[in-house]
Structure 1
Amino acid sequence: MKKKLTLLLGFITGLSCLSCNGNNPHNNTIPHETVKSSSQESNILIAYFSRTGYNYPDTFLTTGNTAVIAGYIQKYTQGTLFEIVPVTPYPASYTETTDIAQDEIKNNARPAIKNKLENPDQYSTVFIGYPIWYGTMPMIVRNFIETYDLSGKTIIPFCTHEGSNFGSSLSVFKSIYPAISLKEGLAVQGSTVSDARDKVEAWLKNIGIEK
């Protein structure tokens, strides 16, 4: 009986964690202007990973929730957007993605990133966004922050979730860069991203990011 209860709780946790990138009754869309990168002179980078496809409970997103928040940040800061794109795309199926995410965490995997960040040294402020999967950041995001040297930069995390807030993801930054300058982040419930623009702008003002 105890074993069955443990398995059930684990399954429910998985649903909560992966639903952070879904659970919106409508498809998310970002106006074209919000996904434009700014000029090459920008010292602000907005790097993010966001998944599209079917999400819990049975919602299909053409734009992932984290991408929507990244778009709001870019609109306000005029920073440069960089989407962390996996070499092997995650399935459109929610259940299959759940299984893969769990295996990646269990095996401490580093999923390969398809695209390369050009001129990383030009950025002094780096926003890093991700959905919360099984209580932490997806392993492909960990690969990104290990691949590029973030020491000496101001790092500002943001995430989407369905109840777990940042989970244990903030400790990942500190484990890789103990002396990192980590500013107050923003966690947004995935099902509310379409109404989160004002919340994002208030957060950016509060942490001293001027428009």
Structure 2
Amino acid sequence: MANTLVLYYSATGTTKKVAEEIAQKLNADIAEIHPVKPYSNEDLNWHDESTRATVEQKQEHDGRVPIKDDLPSLDNYDNVMIGHPIWWGIPPRLIAATIDKLALNGKNLATFGTSSSTGYDRAQSNIERTIKENNYEVKLNRGDVLNSQSAIDNWLASLNF
């Protein structure tokens, strides 16, 4: 699988480990998505309704969290993967901001999440809505939660890259 870029956001290191494994298996390039304002452990406390991440995730569908303008160009890639944790059933709001900034037309796109308790259905709907909002012409593969070696292997085998 040539010409593949794995982009990921990881707050705690879990998604980073999965992204690195995927990049290694596919001999793909890898790059991290950086929020303009990094998240502290306190920001991520999902038990507290007033924390930054909780407030952000409960925004309307078009909510965005700004990211640094350091994404790589997609000119040399046919396939793009975006990995993220799942917060409150959906990707962090900075993933929509990332999709907004990427030149995805004509690309094969696959997204994956990491979670110990949530499936990917709501995350998939969220990604699909963001792609539609941007009027991208992409081939979107079905995303999945990758929380085990077999989940990673099965998901990679299912891709239409």
Category of TM-score, reference length = shorter chain: 0.7 to 0.9
Identify, as 1 or 2, the structure richer in helix. Answer: 1
Listed as ranges, the matches of 1:55-204 within 5 Å are 64-93=13-42, 94-95=44-45, 99-108=51-60, 109-178=63-132, 179-189=137-147, 196-204=148-156
Higher relative contact order, structure no. (Cα contacts within 8 Å, ≥ 6 residues apart): 1
Percent identity of equivalent pairs? 28
Alpha-carbon offset, residue 112 of structure 1:
2.0
SS in 2 for 1:176: helix
Runs of 5+ unmatched residues, structure 2: none
Could you report, residue by residue, the CA deviation over 1:143-193 in whole angstroms, capped at 9, with x for unpaired residues? 00011121221111110112221141212232233453111323124xxxx
Aligned 8 A contact 1:132 1:167 in 2: no
Alpha-carbon offset, residue 84 of structure 1:
0.5
Q: TM-score, normalised by structure 2?
A: 0.81
Q: What is the RMSD of the two structures over their aligned residues, measured on CA atoms?
A: 2.3
SS in 2 for 1:95: coil
Q: Kindly tell me: are residues 169 and 203 of structure 1, through their superposed partners in 2, closer, same or farther at Cα, counting changes over 3 Å?
A: closer
Q: Kindly tell me: are residues 170 and 89 of structure 1, through their superposed partners in 2, closer, same or farther at Cα, counting changes over 3 Å?
A: same
SS in 2 for 1:177: helix
The equivalent residue for 2:4 is 44
Aligned mates of 2:123, 2:103 — CA distance in 1: 18
Tell me the number of residue pairs that the alignment of Structure 1 and Structure 2 aligns.
151
SS in 2 for 1:122: coil
Letter of the 1:74 counterpart: A
Q: TM-score, normalised by structure 1?
A: 0.63
Q: Kindly tell me: are residues 152 and 198 of structure 1, through their superposed partners in 2, closer, same or farther at Cα, counting changes over 3 Å?
A: same
Q: Which has the larger radius of gyration?
A: 1
State whether structure 2 residue 158 is matched by structure 1 residue 206: yes
Q: Kindly tell me: are residues 75 and 197 of structure 1, through their superposed partners in 2, closer, same or farther at Cα, counting changes over 3 Å?
A: farther
Aligned mates of 1:147, 1:202 — CA distance in 2: 29
